[in-house]
Amino acid sequence: MKKVAILGSTGSIGTQALEVISQIKDSFSVISLGAGKNIELLKRQIKEFCPQKVSVLDKSDADKLSVEFPNVEFFFGENGLEQLVTDKDVDIVLVAVSGKIGLKPTISAIKHQKNIALANKETLVMAGDIVMPLAKEYGVEILPVDSEHSAIFQCLNTGASSKIKPKKLIITASGGPFKDKPLQEIQNATAKEALNHPRWNMGRKITVDSATLMNKGLEVIEAHHLFNMDYDDIKVVIHPQSVIHSAIEYEDGSVIAQMGIPSMHIPIQYALTYPKRITGIETESFDFVKIAQLTFEAPDFEKFPALKLAFDAGKKGRTFPTVLNAANEEAVMSFLDGKIRLTDINYIVETLLNKHVPIENATLEDILSIDEKTREEAKQMIEQLLCSR
């Protein structure tokens, strides 16, 4: 019986993880849930999964919930997540929160020797140079939940090949809702249009990132850290059907790809049950004939500069990816609030990357302070943009 803590239980990955777990209840017990402000959904999850500990964002919610569920221990705020991940009863922590909030609890979980099922790519983008060596030091597995990284992880785990380093990683991208749209239309896209993803049903932040292709850029940086690959050996290919979730290429020209229907249940389950494979939610057999056709295109770096910004920030390394992530996160939130245009996100990220003076061998404190400073600068830029229109 594996004991799981789920951070971000009411989000897109969190709810799907609980769907997976409810199918394989004999192998898993949910020890704790971390959520934000979706208290109604959280209450239903508490009733169904009977966790021992629960953390929410606000103290007032924690107080109210303690009255309703006297057998559950409640926490709140950043310290709340810390309490969940350091719990001695927990074996594996699913980090499924969105954005920078995932970083500190992931580091604490590693230091308490919990295996990590990582769905929060921002953690590795912000601080991959700290997180990966730390995981090695503490003997902790970082199991990717992101479908592309799960795919690469699965390709790398095939038999005798598992000891051979591939020549290349090939990360696939659906291309998002604006793949074939003219730049003009992308510029004026509303949040509703950006949130209308053709293949995947995901949280709001990641869906906007998918529309700008920043998501793919963040995934490139994530892959660099997870699989210790040079940026020049990571390729992105647009594959609108989202059936091949990513691939690896070996020196001899052989390519191994991982395929499946576009469902997050599969990578979530694999991260939780690894190295085992068991029957889960997706029981329908993969049907090549029904899929019939798979197509591929090169990414358009002109129309989607975010992908290039991310590659460049990754190659420059040091604290550039931290700036990329912070500027992007702030800009995406403003876009979702209807304040700025979709293409302003790239402008803000690029401007802040250009003026960034990097820190060598940055500590966690350095990273958090750069993150904060960048967010402040992004907010100022957004204000200026608003005033100039």
Task: Please report, to the nearest 10 degrees, the dihedral formed by the alpha carbons of residues 28, 78, 61, 35 taken in order.
Answer: -40
Question: Which is closer to Mg ion, CB of 140 or CB of 206?
Answer: 206
Evaluate the omega torsion of the peptide bond into residue 133 and state whether it is cis, within 30 degrees of 0: no
Contact segment (CB under 5 A) with Mg ion among 29-37, 42-50, 138-146, 361-369 equals 138-146
Contact segment (CB under 5 A) with Mg ion among 22-30, 93-101, 144-152, 159-167 equals 144-152
Q: Which of 232, 205, 209 is nearest to 219 (CA)?
A: 209
The H-or-E segment that residue 14 falls in is helix 12-23
Distance CA 188, CA 344 (A): 10
Question: Which is closer to Mg ion, CB of 147 or CB of 212?
Answer: 147
User: Interface residues for Mg ion in 148-177 (CB under 5 A)?
Assistant: 148
Residue closest to Mg ion (Cβ): 146
Backbone φ and ψ of 354, nearest 5°? -65, -35
- Smallest gap from Cβ 202 to Mg ion, in A, equals 8
209 touches 177 (CB < 8 A) = no
Question: Which is closer to Mg ion, CB of 92 or CB of 236?
Answer: 236
Q: Which of 219, 214, 222 is nearest to 178 (CA)?
A: 214
The DSSP bridge pattern shows strands 115-118 and 92-95 to be parallel
Contact segment (CB under 5 A) with Mg ion among 54-62, 142-150, 172-180, 234-242 equals 142-150
Residue labelled with tokens 């700025």: 340
The three-state secondary structure class of 50 is coil
Contact segment (CB under 5 A) with Mg ion among 145-153, 190-198, 259-267, 355-363 equals 145-153
Q: Which of 166, 145, 163, 147 is nearest to 256 (CA)?
A: 166
- Smallest gap from Cβ 62 to Mg ion, in A, equals 32
- Smallest gap from Cβ 175 to Mg ion, in A, equals 13
Distance CA 249, CA 170 (A): 8
Please select the residue that binds Mg ion; options are 82, 87, 129, 146, rule is CB under 5 A: 146
Question: Which is closer to Mg ion, CB of 148 or CB of 329?
Answer: 148
Question: Which is closer to Mg ion, CB of 146 or CB of 377?
Answer: 146
- Smallest gap from Cβ 14 to Mg ion, in A, equals 16
Distance CA 23, CA 18 (A): 9
- Smallest gap from Cβ 100 to Mg ion, in A, equals 18
The DSSP bridge pattern shows strands 234-238 and 142-144 to be unpaired
- Smallest gap from Cβ 207 to Mg ion, in A, equals 11
- Smallest gap from Cβ 219 to Mg ion, in A, equals 6
Burial environment of residue 140 by CB neighbours within 10 A (0 to 12, 13 to 18, 19 or more): buried
Contact segment (CB under 5 A) with Mg ion among 29-37, 79-87, 141-149, 255-263 equals 141-149
The two tokens of residue 110 are 């590693």
Question: Which is closer to Mg ion, CB of 9 or CB of 120?
Answer: 120
Question: Which is closer to Mg ion, CB of 55 or CB of 147?
Answer: 147
- Smallest gap from Cβ 141 to Mg ion, in A, equals 19
Distance CA 328, CA 218 (A): 10
96 touches 295 (CB < 8 A) = no
- Smallest gap from Cβ 171 to Mg ion, in A, equals 9
Number of residues that bind Mg ion (CB under 5 A): 3
Contact segment (CB under 5 A) with Mg ion among 130-138, 146-154, 317-325, 333-341 equals 146-154
Question: Which is closer to Mg ion, CB of 80 or CB of 99?
Answer: 99
Residues forming the site for Mg ion (CB under 5 A): 146-148
